[in-house]
């Protein structure tokens, strides 16, 4: 039954992503993209990663998709039926996507992240005592490569010496300038 829930969520996500690739109307494409991102947050919820699911909804669905929809709506002639949504690089894009998929699969197979050491695997395989206490003890050990908790993640991302805080600020300014640029492009000429 648990696997069935995953297959339903994954099927909706993949179907939405395929629809986002094949639909000719750009506004509908953005809506299918948002639905695919909701599906990814559902996969995160299925994996008991509430923080990543909420970040996925807030950042990707809530911010990026809304900016894409605003950009499409505010840009001239993008919603016109005569505008061409597809281009002639379809075969090239399929080849690049397959090569990128092969590189990602090879990187996953070569990673030191062994499935048996995953925190969820440790929790599910524990037979003695409370599973959550054993999981916390395994994560807190100094030789264990995984650290738990949202506070640790926030500290690692926003600590000034790591340099990630600048990236967050830079991306926010970049998204804001893209929205302002779409408004300027869509603005009617005063003449």
Which tens digits make up the pLDDT trace of 58-99?
888 887 777 777 777 776 565 566 656 566 787 898 899 999
Q: For the structural domain made of 2-109, what CATH number should be given?
A: 1.20.120.1200
- Predicted pLDDT of residue 58: 85
Q: Cα–Cα distance between 79 and 83 in angstroms, integer?
A: 7
Weakest-pLDDT range from 12-16, 53-57, 151-155: 151-155
Percent of the chain with pLDDT over 70: 69
Better-predicted residue by pLDDT, 44 or 80: 44
Residue spans of the domains in the chain: they are 2-109
Tokens of 100: 């990128």
- Are the beta carbons of 145 and 133 closer than 8 angstroms? no
Residue 187's pLDDT band, with cuts at 50, 70 and 90, is: confident
Which range, 42-51, 85-94, 137-146, is most confident?
42-51
Q: For position 140, what pLDDT does the model report?
A: 47
- Gap between the Cα atoms of 187 and 173, Å rounded: 21
Among the ranges given (32-46, 148-162, 174-188), the one the predictor scored with the smallest mean pLDDT: 148-162
The CA distance from 37 to 182, in Å, is 23
The percentage of residues in the chain with a pLDDT greater than 90, rounded to a whole number, is 16
* Predicted local distance difference test score (pLDDT) of residue 70: 75
Crossing angle, helix 26-46 and helix 65-74, to 10 degrees?
A: 180
């Amino acid at each position: 039954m648990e696997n069935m829930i995953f297959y339903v969520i994954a099927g909706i996500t993949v179907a939405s992503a395929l629809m986002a690739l094949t639909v000719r109307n750009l506004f509908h494409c953005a809506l299918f993209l948002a639905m695919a991102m909701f599906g990814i947050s559902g996969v995160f919820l299925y994996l008991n990663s509430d923080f990543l699911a909420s970040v996925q909804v807030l950042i990707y669905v809530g911010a990026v998709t809304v900016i894409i929809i605003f950009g499409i709506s505010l840009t001239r002639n993008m919603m016109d039926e005569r505008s061409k949504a597809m281009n002639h690089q379809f075969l090239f894009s399929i080849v690049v996507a397959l090569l990128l998929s092969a590189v990602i699969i090879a990187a996953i197979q070569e990673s030191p992240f062994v499935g048996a050491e995953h925190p969820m695997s440790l929790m599910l395989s524990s037979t003695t005592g409370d599973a959550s206490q054993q999981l916390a003890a395994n994560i807190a050990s100094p030789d264990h490569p995984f650290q738990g908790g949202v506070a640790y993640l926030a500290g690692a991302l926003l600590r000034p010496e790591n340099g990630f805080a600048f990236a967050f600020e830079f991306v926010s300014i970049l998204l804001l300038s893209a929205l302002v640029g779409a408004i300027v492009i869509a603005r009617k000429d005063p003449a």
